[in-house]
Amino acid sequence: MAFKREKISYSAKPLPNAMDVAVEDMKDLAEDFRDRMANRHSIRDYSDDAIPKDVIEAIIRTAGNAPSGANHQPWHFVAIRDPEVKAQIRAAAEEEEKAFYAGGGGDEWIKALEPIGTGWEKPHLTTAPWLIVIFAQRYGEFDDGIRYKNYYVPESVGIATGFLIAALHHAGLYCLTHTPNPMKFLGPLLGRPKSEKATMILVVGKAADDATVPEVAMMKKPLSEILTVI
């Protein structure tokens, strides 16, 4: 999005699509969404069934509606279905993962991953019909090419990623957050500018018939451990 410097000004507009939910209905709505999201699972076993591009586009539009610092929307999503590009990403990611599991990740981190059952091989990167690479934009540019600073970039991109994951689940798709370390290979491979930094790969598709999840992944902290009311 190219801002014009001479057109940056404040203008108040009436709240569009204003919600007027009755207080007595709020808990039911909150619990319905909680129950739906409680059925979300990260998987590594994907069907290769094709998912139409317009489904992915609708989901990305949801992510683009996330709030962001100064409304700069400092994100970019690259959705990949090309088998050759997915194969290149898998090859590069597995090189990083080999180094990680060979000791680069440190004993404590590798030990923490044992209950998840992960290793350096990432076949899901090529089996799943889509990969979505999420980029954070360190800075933007006005329409005349002058740079401007983006604010709260990690926070903004994190919120947009949350919207994206929720939208994928709502559409009946599974995803896996994958963060090979480092991820510097993704920018040049996908033709992204130096202003952007890859933050995550989302593996996206339908579950294979024999898909499994680690037992430990079903364990969630109780409300008493994640909430303090003052």
For residue 145, the model assigns a pLDDT of 83
Give the Cβ contact number of residue 201 at 10 Å.
25
**Short-list 92, 168, 166, CA closest to 132:** 168
pLDDT at 141 over 90: no
For residue 82, the model assigns a pLDDT of 98
Structure confidence by residue, pLDDT tens digits, 32-84: 999 999 999 999 999 999 999 999 999 999 999 999 999 999 999 999 999 99
pLDDT at 224 over 90: yes
Q: What proportion of the chain, given as a percentage, has pLDDT over 70?
A: 97
pLDDT at 1 over 60: no
Structure confidence by residue, pLDDT tens digits, 181-223: 889 999 999 999 999 999 999 999 999 999 999 999 999 999 9
For residue 144, the model assigns a pLDDT of 84
The tokens 């994100």 sit on which residue? 75
**pTM more than 0.85:** yes
Give the count of alpha carbons within 13 A of 75, CB side only: 32
Query: CB under 8 Å to 120, separation ≥6 — which residues?
Result: 94, 97, 98, 100, 101
- Compute and round to an integer the Cα radius of gyration of the chain: 20
How would residue 162 be classed by pLDDT, with cut points 50, 70 and 90? very high
Sketch out the chain's domains with CATH numbers.
42-210 (3.40.109.10)
